[in-house]
Amino acid sequence: MGLLDDRICLVSGAGQGLGRSVALEMAAEGAGVVLLERNGETVAAVASEIEAAGGKAYPYSLDVTDYARYEQVVGDVVIAHGRIDVLVNNAAINPPTRTLLDDTLEDWRRTITINLEAVYMGSKLVAPHMVRRQSGRIIHIASIQGFASSGECGSYNAAKGGIIAYTKSMAVELGRYNILVNAVAPGFMVTPMSMVNGVDETTTPDFIDWYVDRRKIPLGRAGLPEDVSGTVVFLASDYCRYMTGQLLVVDGGLMSTF
């Protein structure tokens, strides 16, 4: 018996990093996982990985900002499986230019479109199918950067803060349909996104000195994708029944220090 036996779970940005880990863990818990990812090669590789482990994967090459194609994919999934139980809005970018003084309106709009508007799109397309069945889970991957800032990530901060506020709004709106909406805020994670200018930001001497050796992260290490995917599986499972509109911070204790 798995925690998600026979559930149909959609995971965006499932080709690598946290999305890949969430997809693998959901499949290991018995879910049929619909992988939504703009990179056709990585999504196929993750699907093969899941199938090789005996799981069920349904890969789709999709840019989540393409509303018409997203609508088509959601429609196909509902026709094929009859329902959608869980949506994980995970896909995002960490753009190189993100500050007010250095970015352009075009940079800002690109980040907001992928990191915030596509969360709206996925939720808007999936929620009616959950309403029909009076059941569902929507899980957003936010960030600690949604409520604290390094001062270098303006548009990213704004998008993640928007997700946190929208989690509450969606939870209140959709509670009457037995749809639970929660968010997860990872801290520093070791994923391809942590590569900044070709360097893994979680391995620099400054990072090791401040966050690890001096325990700015009380647990003394950056997070691994598996540290987040377990939390997502919990939110998707029957162990989470009476919790909605919440933000679970998964950061090794970073935001508990000053």
Ligand X SMILES: NC(=O)c1ccc[n+]([C@@H]2O[C@H](COP(=O)([O-])OP(=O)(O)OC[C@H]3O[C@@H](n4cnc5c(N)ncnc54)[C@H](O)[C@@H]3O)[C@@H](O)[C@H]2O)c1
Q: Which residues are catalytic?
A: 156
Pick from 13, 82, 23, 84: nearest CA to 57: 23
- Least CB distance to ligand X at residue 28 (A): 18
- Least CB distance to ligand X at residue 114 (A): 5
* Phi, psi dihedrals of residue 7, rounded to the nearest 5°: -85, 150
Where in 122-141 is the site for ligand X (CB under 6 A)? 141
CB under 8 Å to 9, separation ≥6 — which residues? Answer: 26, 31, 32, 33, 34, 84, 85, 86, 87, 88, 236
**Residue number, 5 or 199, with CB nearest to ligand X:** 199
Give yes or no for residue 38 binding ligand X (CB under 6 A). Answer: yes
Give yes or no for residue 164 binding ligand X (CB under 6 A). Answer: no
Give yes or no for residue 18 binding ligand X (CB under 6 A). Answer: yes
DSSP letter for each residue of 22-55: HHHHHHHTT-EEEEEES-HHHHHHHHHHHHHTT-
Where in 87-116 is the site for ligand X (CB under 6 A)? 90-93, 114
Q: How many residues in the shown chain lie near ligand X by CB under 6 A?
A: 29
- Which residues here bind ligand X, judged by CB under 6 A? 12-13, 15-19, 37-39, 42, 62-65, 90-93, 114, 141, 143, 186, 188-189, 191-194
